[in-house]
């Protein structure tokens, strides 16, 4: 069940890779040095590490919203 939505702004991504370090399950770096988000709909179980990824991003390129559209990270 997907409870949260990830919004990823590739234009803001500078390829720092901290999201990949924080949550390798859902983030990787593409050949263009931009993050690739595997799934943009995540469950409660996946939330903690994805929040860590969103908080680690120096350019705030990753945002997470709950089902009601309230921002939960960063």
Q: Which residues bind ligand SF4 (CB under 6 A)?
A: 13-19, 35, 56-59, 61-62
- Least distance from ligand SF4 to the Cβ atom of residue 9, Å: 8
- Least distance from ligand SF4 to the Cβ atom of residue 1, Å: 25
> Who contacts 61 (Cβ-Cβ below 8 Å, separation ≥6)?
8, 9, 10, 12, 13, 35
- Between residues 1 and 5, which has the closer beta carbon with respect to ligand SF4? 5
Reading the block at residue 62, the tokens are: 């990753």
- Between residues 19 and 42, which has the closer beta carbon with respect to ligand SF4? 19
Q: What are phi and psi of 6, to 5 degrees?
A: -100, 130
């Amino acid at each position: 069940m997907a409870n949260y939505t990830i919004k990823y702004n590739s234009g803001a991504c500078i390829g720092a890779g901290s999201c990949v370090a924080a949550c390798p399950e859902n983030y990787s770096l593409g050949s263009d040095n931009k993050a690739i988000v595997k799934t943009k709909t995540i469950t409660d179980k996946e939330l903690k590490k994805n929040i860590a990824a969103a908080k680690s991003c120096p350019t705030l390129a990753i945002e997470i919203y709950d089902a009601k559209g309230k921002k939960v990270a960063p």
